[in-house]
């Protein structure tokens, strides 16, 4: 660093405490000195094998750059054209430094000795990246609205790297700054859609070029050949999108978020294997990200185009494997990771079931979005796929999740969504589902986690409404669950939470009464209520 930097480097950082004399001195220095005499931009870099100390030094430099440009912007100093060229180059250098350090990132801190040094390095990088973002924000303010010599692609890449709140290299404040910068500078002057195409072609294509799926052709369509069988895939420690360029998944998500149907179809051969490769990664964090990207693809791409490519089934199989990522004793999956993955995977499967139900069997694009299919037939087709989710996902998940109430809560919530989509076709699974719901309501420790009971009652209402003609055959089993749950709430201390649960139980009981009275008759229900009321006087309040 130069003597000029040493002269006022410590002073300028505390901008609010600058004296008038300091301001005059710094202004004169900026007007008379060459930019590199103030700060040598070539100092802003780190080696491939970066250390904590090196990151700490970069952090100090970034802090100085922020303070310098904050001063320039606040004082509205009119600098020479040399400063504009210098500032543009500084932007490009900052963008390079904002690329997360290579290596397998640790997403959650643990107590293992072998990961402590890496976690410390990551922690230092997070703080350094935040200061670099602050500096970038101030320089862009200085250059605005003319961005001569600034390549928009690396700038948008650098910002997009910090948009996702779940990324381990981004602090919450980094997320805030990145979102603010994207909102400020896109689509003007940085046109997001065109830059997205550049990012995909120039940055992501080389990273994902070796991502292959044995059943996907080079055109992104279903392949029955063995063209990829002899090619070695990446393992989790070698994948460039997890080690060499760990921000690749975030960039791909950003590109997809701004894409349209035409973009999806034009870039299908690259997008499909890339997304599948991320979903197939054994790390649940990457699986979750892959599922999130698949959701963008499925929701934006033309439905008939997806069906014509023939790979909806491949997407389905990839998603179904995600449902097994439960926090079991033998697995390294945490409850938080499992909930996030299961949430997006079930959502994707439900969406994909709707898409697959529209398959007319034609291999040619229809002039309309979908060949007209009767709504009832569409629901029947979708129910075939949804039924497999119920049995292979929810039912099996409930048997394995044990005491993990957060997992159970999510599974029961998804079950309600599936039941609503299936309608009367849900009767095929009615007995097993009623047993699951009643077991939850009858659990003697159920009131320890009221959210699960509320979710169960919500799903029970949906199931009863969807299968009304047949659900009356299970009315006594349902009543058993409602009565058991009511007695448990009465045994607890009176609280707002328990009162809310009581109200919910009453509403569900009333809904059951309406269905039974309509299908069986009021006399049957009244007789049942009288018999139950004899068991406990508190139960009378459940029915009235």
Counting residues of the chain whose pLDDT is more than 90, the rounded percentage is 69
State the average pLDDT for the chain: 89
Q: Which residue has the higher pLDDT, 240 or 192?
A: 240
**Over residues 179-190, mean pLDDT:** 88
Whether the Cβ atoms of residue 41 and residue 93 lie closer than 8 Å to each other: yes
**Over residues 153-166, mean pLDDT:** 95
Measure Cα distances from 534 to 412, 509, 537 in Å.
32, 17, 7
For residue 9, what pLDDT is reported?
Answer: 57
For residue 22, what pLDDT is reported?
Answer: 80
> What is the spatial distance between Cα 470 and Cα 427, in angstroms, rounded to a whole number?
7
Question: Which region among 314-323, 329-338, 460-469, 496-505 has the lowest average model confidence (pLDDT)?
Answer: 329-338
Nearest CA among 416, 541, 532 for reference residue 489: 541
| Tally of residues, the chain | 544
Give me the half-sphere count of Cα atoms (radius 13 Å) on the Cβ side of residue 458: 16
Q: Which residue has the higher pLDDT, 101 or 237?
A: 101
> Where does the pLDDT of residue 235 fall: very low under 50, low under 70, confident under 90, or very high at 90 and above?
very low
Counting residues of the chain whose pLDDT is more than 70, the rounded percentage is 91
Neighbours of 539 (CB within 10 A): 17
For 230, the 3-state DSSP assignment is coil
> What is the spatial distance between Cα 488 and Cα 449, in angstroms, rounded to a whole number?
12
**Over residues 347-357, mean pLDDT:** 98
> Where does the pLDDT of residue 13 fall: very low under 50, low under 70, confident under 90, or very high at 90 and above?
low
> Where does the pLDDT of residue 236 fall: very low under 50, low under 70, confident under 90, or very high at 90 and above?
very low
**Over residues 33-62, mean pLDDT:** 91
Measure Cα distances from 13 to 37, 66, 438 in Å.
17, 8, 64
Q: In this model, does residue 500 exceed pLDDT 90?
A: yes
Nearest CA among 100, 106, 110 for reference residue 55: 100
Q: In this model, does residue 25 exceed pLDDT 90?
A: no
For residue 226, what pLDDT is reported?
Answer: 55
Pull the structure tokens for residue 436.
Answer: 């699951």
**Over residues 101-116, mean pLDDT:** 80
Nearest CA among 236, 129, 234 for reference residue 173: 129
pTM value is 0.90
For residue 423, what pLDDT is reported?
Answer: 96
Neighbours of 24 (CB within 10 A): 11
* pLDDT tens, position by position, 523-535: 888 888 888 877 7
> What is the spatial distance between Cα 200 and Cα 221, in angstroms, rounded to a whole number?
19
Whether the Cβ atoms of residue 465 and residue 458 lie closer than 8 Å to each other: no
> Where does the pLDDT of residue 432 fall: very low under 50, low under 70, confident under 90, or very high at 90 and above?
very high
For residue 290, what pLDDT is reported?
Answer: 97
> What is the spatial distance between Cα 358 and Cα 236, in angstroms, rounded to a whole number?
36
> Where does the pLDDT of residue 543 fall: very low under 50, low under 70, confident under 90, or very high at 90 and above?
confident
For residue 101, what pLDDT is reported?
Answer: 94
User: Tokens 């002057």, residue?
Assistant: 189
For 222, the 3-state DSSP assignment is strand
> Where does the pLDDT of residue 370 fall: very low under 50, low under 70, confident under 90, or very high at 90 and above?
very low
Q: Which residue has the higher pLDDT, 264 or 364?
A: 264
- DSSP per-residue codes, 108-164: S----HHHHHHHHHHHHHHHHHHHHHHHHHHHHHHHTT--TT--HHHHHHHHHTT--
Helices (runs of H) and strands (runs of E) counted in the chain = 27, 0
* pLDDT tens, position by position, 434-492: 999 999 999 999 999 999 999 999 999 999 999 998 999 999 999 999 999 999 999 88
> What is the spatial distance between Cα 527 and Cα 517, in angstroms, rounded to a whole number?
12
* pLDDT tens, position by position, 195-212: 999 999 999 999 999 888
**Over residues 374-379, mean pLDDT:** 90
């Amino acid at each position: 660093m130069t003597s000029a930097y040493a002269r006022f480097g410590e002073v300028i950082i505390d901008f609010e405490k600058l004296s008038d004399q300091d301001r005059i001195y710094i202004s004169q220095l900026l007007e008379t000195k060459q930019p590199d005499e103030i700060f040598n931009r070539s100092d802003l870099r780190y080696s491939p094998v970066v250390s904590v100390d090196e990151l700490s030094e970069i952090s100090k430099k970034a802090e100085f750059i922020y303070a310098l440009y904050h001063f320039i912007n606040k004082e509205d100093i009119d600098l020479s054209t040399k400063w504009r060229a210098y500032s543009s180059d500084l932007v490009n250098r900052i963008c390079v430094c904002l690329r997360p350090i290579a290596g397998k990132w640790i997403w959650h801190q643990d107590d293992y000795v072998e990961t402590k040094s890496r976690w410390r390095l990551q922690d230092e990088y997070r703080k350094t990246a935040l200061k670099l973002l602050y500096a970038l924000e101030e320089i862009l303010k200085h250059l605005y609205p003319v961005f001569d010599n600034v390549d928009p692609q690396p700038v948008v890449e650098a910002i997009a790297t910090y948009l996702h709140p779940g990324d381990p290299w981004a602090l919450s404040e980094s997320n805030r700054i990145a979102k603010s910068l994207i909102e400020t500078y896109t689509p003007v002057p940085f046109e997001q859609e065109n830059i997205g195409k550049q990012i995909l072609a120039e940055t992501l294509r080389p990273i994902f070029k070796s991502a292959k799926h044995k059943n996907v052709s080079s055109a992104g369509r279903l392949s029955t050949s063995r063209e990829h069988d002899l090619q070695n895939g990446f393992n989790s420690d070698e994948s460039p999108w997890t080690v060499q360029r760990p921000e690749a998944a975030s960039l791909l998500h950003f590109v997809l978020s701004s894409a349209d149907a035409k973009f999806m179809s034009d870039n299908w051969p690259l997008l499909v294997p890339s997304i599948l490769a991320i979903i197939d990664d054994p790390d649940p964090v990457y699986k979750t990200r892959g599922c999130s990207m698949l959701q963008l693809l499925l929701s934006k791409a033309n439905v008939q185009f997806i069906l014509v490519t023939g790979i909806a089934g491949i997407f389905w199989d990839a998603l179904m494997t995600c449902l097994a990522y439960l926090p079991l004793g033998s697995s390294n999956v945490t409850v938080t990771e499992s909930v996030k993955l299961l949430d997006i995977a079930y959502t994707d499967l439900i969406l994909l079931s709707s898409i697959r139900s529209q398959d007319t069997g034609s291999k040619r694009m229809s002039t309309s979005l979908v060949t007209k299919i009767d709504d009832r037939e569409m629901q029947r087709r979708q129910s075939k796929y949804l039924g497999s989710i119920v049995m292979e996902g929810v039912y099996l998940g409930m048997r394995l999740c044990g005491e993990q109430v957060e997992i159970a809560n999510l599974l029961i919530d998804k079950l309600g969504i599936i039941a609503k989509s299936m309608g009367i076709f849900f009767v095929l699974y009615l007995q097993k589902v009623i047993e699951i719901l009643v077991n939850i309501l009858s659990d003697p420790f159920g009131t320890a986690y009221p959210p699960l009971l509320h979710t169960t009652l919500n799903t029970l209402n949906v199931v009863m409404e969807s299968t009304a003609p047949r659900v009356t055959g299970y009315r006594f089993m349902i009543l058993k669950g409602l009565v058991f749950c009511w007695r448990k709430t009465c045994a607890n201390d009176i609280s707002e939470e328990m009162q809310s649960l009581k109200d919910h139980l009453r509403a569900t009981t009333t809904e059951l009464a309406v269905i039974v009275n309509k299908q069986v008759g009021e006399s049957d229900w009244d007789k049942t209520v009288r018999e139950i009321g004899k068991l406990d006087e508190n139960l009378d309040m459940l029915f009235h």
